[in-house]
Structure 1
Amino acid sequence: MITLEAEPRRLTGKAVKQLRKQDLLPAVLYGAKTASEPIMVPLKSFKKVLAEAGESTLIALLMKGKEVNVLIHDVLRDPLTEAPLHADFLAVQMDKEVRTNVPLEFMGEAPAIRVEQGVLVKVMHDIEISALPVDLPSHIKVNLAVLLHIHDRLVVENLNIPQGVKVITPGDEVVVLIEAPRSEEELKALETAEPAATVEVMTEAEIKKKVEDEAAAATGEIKEVK
């Protein structure tokens, strides 16, 4: 099992800036049978664990001489740099199923793209599942090689789901499909038909204040299946 060291955290609110300057990530640990506790973890180690485990793989959090089985439940990021600013760790019970979203990993090449010049459209990038913590997969593979022709598609029920995993996302929802290539005329028509989106402009100071307020108030949501 992947491990990550953690320590109790006394600093809260805007004072957590001091932790970030020391390359420490403020976080919170909570669970159905675990009281909410402010903690901190080494930022470098957290990034490595996040890249390897994602938010759906069981992690052993080592703290105060004890080992707690957790999931990375939520990560607050800087809107400018996308650097982690705060993390939620959900303590899980090994005999209780957990509901979480698992990323989809698209594998192979769709023949419809090479042979018929079709356009691959990824409709979904993750699905919601339920499983015991030990059975949680890090990802679900999607085999694109079965998409032979334009208008072919894969829905959730077509996916190869590991044993012990229940899919919560409706089985008829489209995961990926092949569209016919669009002509230059169609592309121009789309450009003129779609109005420009309104963009909210915030100063850097406003963004930093918003991020700090969200990090200070971050508590997360427990999603254990009773």
Structure 2
Amino acid sequence: MVQLTAKPRAITGKKVKILRKTGEVPAVLYGAGEQVLNLSVPAKEFSKIWKAAGETSLVLLAIEGNGTKNVLIHEVALHPIKDTPVHVDFYAVRMDKAIEARVPLKFIGDSEAVKAFGGILVKVAHELEIEALPNDLPHEIEVDLGILKTLEDQILVKDIKLPKGVTALGEGTSVIALVEPPRSEADMQALESQEPVSLENIELAGKKPKAEEGEAETTE
């Protein structure tokens, strides 16, 4: 388990930009019967750990003056231009209680249907919803494309070999990946002749991260 240091912070709201200028990222800790704590973590150290642990690997959060907590990186708000973390939510977990998480899928191997028959690989899902004890949470789950031997084959949730202690949620018959028949020249020409989709009337809605007002909203 990786360890990350954190310090309590009294600065809140839009004033947290002062922390960012000193190389700190404002954060909040909650969950598992914990009182909400406002914290700050070193920006460089956090970025390295986030890249390694993702949001499904346990992190030991060492809080100055408040011991250690087993946490997950629950949500990260990013700078709209720099794409760097500007606010972090940590979720404290109980080690004896199973939790639900969405884990990235890693596709490995080769499909015979693609190599031998010219099929088109379609990855229907890129994450899998699972349940496990915190210590059993995988960083990623491998999906073997070797199962796809013919153009009729599909990989379903129930076909995935899960690590010990991990249970998949949802329908076991949900499709994860499949192979479509190769497209003819006529099909390709038809696709190329389609009118481009106009984005003029499409409304984009973004999910606001959990943070105190002003903490995760910055363009600096």
Assess same fold via TM > 0.5: yes
1:216 equivalent among 202, 212, 217: 212
Letter paired with 1:62? A
Question: Do the aligned partners of 1:109 and 1:144 also contact (CA within 8 Å) in 2?
Answer: yes
Amino acid across the alignment from 1:110: S
CA distance in 1: counterparts of 2:110 and 2:214, whole angstroms: 40
Partner of 1:207: none
CA contact (8 A) 1:55 1:73 kept: yes
Q: How does 1:1-226 map to 2 (within 5 A)?
A: 1-65=1-65, 66-193=67-194, 196-198=197-199, 215-217=211-213
2: CA distance, partners of 1:184 / 1:80: 41
CA contact (8 A) 1:71 1:89 kept: yes
Percent identity of the aligned residues?
Answer: 43
Contact 1:13 / 1:212 at 8 angstroms: preserved in 2? no
Structure 1 counterpart of 2:95, one-letter code: M
TM normalised by structure 1 equals 0.84
Q: 1:213 to 1:128 in 2, by over 3 A?
A: closer
Contact 2:156 2:177 in 1 (8 A): yes
What is the RMSD of the two structures over their aligned residues, measured on CA atoms?
A: 2.7
Give the partner amino acid of 2:38. Answer: P
**Deviation per residue, 1:83-129 (Å, 9 max, x gap):** 22211100001111111111111111212222111111111111111
Structure 1 CA distance for aligned equivalents of residues 193 and 118 of structure 2: 25
1:89–1:197 Cα change, 3 Å: farther
1:224 alignment counterpart? none
Does the 8 A contact of 2:75 with 2:209 survive in 1?
no
Structure 2: give runs of 5+ residues left out of the alignment: 216-220
Q: How many residue pairs were aligned? A: 212
Amino acid paired to 1:150: L
* Alpha-carbon distance, 1:187 to partner: 3.3
- Would the alpha carbon gap of residues 199 and 60 (structure 1) be closer, same or farther in structure 2, given more than 3 Å must change? farther
Structure 1: 5+ residue stretches without partners: 202-209, 220-226
Distance 1:42 1:182, change over 3 A: same
2:14, 2:214 within 8 Å by CA — same for their partners in 1? no
TM (normalized to structure 2)? 0.86
1:11 deviates by: 1.8
